[in-house]
Amino acid sequence: MNSHTVDMPTTTLTNADNKITYDAIIVGAGVIGPCIAAGLARKGKKVLIVEREWAQPDRIVGELMQPGGVRALRSLGMVQSINGIGAIPVTGYSVFYDGQEVDITYPYKADCARVEKVKDLVKDGNDKVLDDETIHTSEYEDDERERGVAFVHGRFLNNLRNIARHEPNVTALQGDVIQILKNDKQEVIGAKVDIDGRGKVDFHAHLTFVCDGIFSHFRSELSPEHVPSIGSSFVGMSLFDADVPAKNHGHVILGHNHMPILVYQISAEETRILCAYNSGKLPKDLKGWMTKDVQPFIPKSLRPSFDAALAQGKFKPMANKYLPARANDVTGLCVIGDALNMRHPLTGGGMTVGLQDVVLLMDKIGDLDFSDRETVLDELLDYHFERKPFDSVINVLSIALYSLFAADTKNLKELQKGCFKYFQRGGDCVNVPVAFLAGLKPSPFQLTRVFFAVAFYTIYLKFEERGFLGLPMALLEGLMILITAVRVFTPFLLGELIG
């Protein structure tokens, strides 16, 4: 059992000193905040991290981490946060389409770049996974392929928070940040925190990190226009003692007449199911919708656990948000994580993007004197452009795949079918796409090439289906499929790269 699973005492959570100037104040202790706190503390910075509630949360987001996220935790010396929480190793995906199945395994380590060790953060083997009841060192350290991991979100978060709070340079504070403080030049100088028993207290720092997540109160400090859009939803349920079709795999269940269904095991007893709904506004009768539009398409082995969960009716709805990143161009401020940038959760890339951003951030500013605010600002502006190759691939892939998998037009349904048949070809037709999905191939150019390879393969299948006599119709259909592919993919890619 990992020592980090022991909760830190809560008695000191309201005692933070407001008479000193911290190097950094971190607003939010979700996945990203503790990683920044621990990293900066190991770099010798004095850090204050503020969270409204330090008790273990119960949320359905951030439960499956792609290999790119695990690698980032290694780089930060925080990978043992996956230990001691009953986490489930993930070795790949199984994609189902109208009863057919394709198994997709994560890439070989030999085909990926080496894991970077961030200076001062990696020491005493903290970049190596430990043995526990469900995670085995040999599988993660010695296996020839990359691995992801799935877990109960709150348990993982507790581990991250405890790692950060064990750092001598980190002060944890429980309170509600109600204002980002600015000087008369509109530069950020800290945060006002409402603390139970102390009232509203001003804390000052050279650099304030806003990482308060999906529902961020302070992302608008970058710009009032920095607002996410909502286009769809997921309805989640917990399945207990489920017989999943493919052990240690994420499951994507597709079909020409239903929305995508995601299934992945998060502990020995619990499996998460997420059912997509193509609107931000959910149907009033959730149980009726699940019975009519989801239940018939659940794989046979999952039906007993699904039916039991459906009868209980404990639904956890979640709006899916999209938010392209903006440059951090405000002196004294750094917005990061879901507060800065969100993508569709279909591909499970959110934690990977956020954690890779932290790795890059530590390299860019970790060794700077934060009181030299102009130099820090210059590096944060560079960081915005350096993060683009990585984050744009995961963000655009999430939007493009959701458009295909939730196909609601004839041409999108053709692309969905073509995508599955492309996967069925095997070889590089699955190896390259899964490298993007896993967060292991930060190449927007290659992603573009693969996406349009799928589009042209779909067109080829149309010509094959129509035959010689149907050539004129196939030409017209092919043109419409290509136009649809361009519309689905290009605006998001350009928005990510240019924005």
Question: 251 near 210, Cβ under 8 Å?
Answer: no
What are the residues facing 193 on neighbouring strands?
Answer: 177, 201
**470 confidence band (pLDDT: 50, 70, 90):** confident
- The CATH 3.30.70 portion of the chain extends over 230-322
**9 confidence band (pLDDT: 50, 70, 90):** low
Within 8 A by CB and 6+ apart from 74, the residues are: 115, 117, 122, 127, 128
**Total-model pTM:** 0.96
Sign of CA pseudo-dihedral 255, 445, 384, 162 = positive
Distance CA 316, CA 60 (A): 8
| Three-state DSSP state, 481 | helix
Distance CA 87, CA 226 (A): 35
The rounded percent of the chain whose pLDDT value lies above 70 is 98
Structure tokens at 422: 């492309």
| Mean local confidence (pLDDT), 305-315 | 97
On the question of pLDDT at 3 being above 60, the answer is: no
Taking the CA atoms of residue 346, residue 70, residue 268 and residue 83 in that order, the dihedral angle to the nearest 10 degrees is -150
Query: pLDDT of 400-411, one tens digit each?
Result: 999 999 999 999
Q: What per-residue confidence (pLDDT) applies to 6?
A: 53
Distance CA 79, CA 126 (A): 7
Query: pLDDT of 474-488, one tens digit each?
Result: 999 999 999 999 999
Query: pLDDT of 133-170, one tens digit each?
Result: 999 999 999 999 999 999 999 999 999 999 999 999 99
Burial of 292 (0-12, 13-18, 19+ CB in 10 A): exposed
Within 8 A by CB and 6+ apart from 311, the residues are: none
Helices (H), 243-369: 286-293, 303-312, 350-365
On the question of pLDDT at 4 being above 50, the answer is: no
Distance CA 423, CA 324 (A): 29
Distance CA 185, CA 179 (A): 16
Query: pLDDT of 194-251, one tens digit each?
Result: 999 999 999 999 999 999 999 999 999 999 999 999 999 999 999 999 999 999 999 9
CA 251 to chain centre: 17
- The CATH 3.50.50.60 portion of the chain extends over 3-91+112-226+323-388
Q: 484-490: which pairs have CB atoms within 8 A and are 24 or more residues apart?
A: 484/409, 484/411, 484/412, 484/415, 485/415, 485/451, 485/452, 485/454, 485/455, 488/399, 488/400, 488/403, 488/404, 488/412, 488/415, 489/396, 489/400, 489/448, 489/451, 489/452
Pick the range with the lowest mean pLDDT from 173-182, 221-230, 438-447, 460-469. Answer: 460-469
State the residue for tokens 């009716």.
313
CA 17 to chain centre: 34
**322 confidence band (pLDDT: 50, 70, 90):** very high
Q: What per-residue confidence (pLDDT) applies to 11?
A: 58
**8 confidence band (pLDDT: 50, 70, 90):** low
Average pLDDT over all residues of the chain: 95
Yes or no: domain 230-322 corresponds to CATH 2.60.120: no
Phi, psi of 424 (to 5 degrees): -65, -20
In CATH, the architecture of 3-91+112-226+323-388 is: 3-Layer(bba) Sandwich (3.50)
Distance CA 401, CA 347 (A): 8
| Mean local confidence (pLDDT), 316-320 | 94
Distance CA 111, CA 325 (A): 29
Closest to 350 measured CA to CA, from 480, 187, 170, 228: 228
Question: 349 near 395, Cβ under 8 Å?
Answer: yes
Q: What per-residue confidence (pLDDT) applies to 498?
A: 87
Distance CA 235, CA 19 (A): 46
| Three-state DSSP state, 192 | strand
Distance CA 156, CA 323 (A): 25
Closest to 244 measured CA to CA, from 333, 305, 161, 331: 305
Question: What's the Cα-to-Cα distance from 225 to each of 177, 216, 228, 320, 456, rounded to whole Å?
Answer: 21, 13, 9, 19, 37
On the question of pLDDT at 10 being above 80, the answer is: no
**12 confidence band (pLDDT: 50, 70, 90):** confident
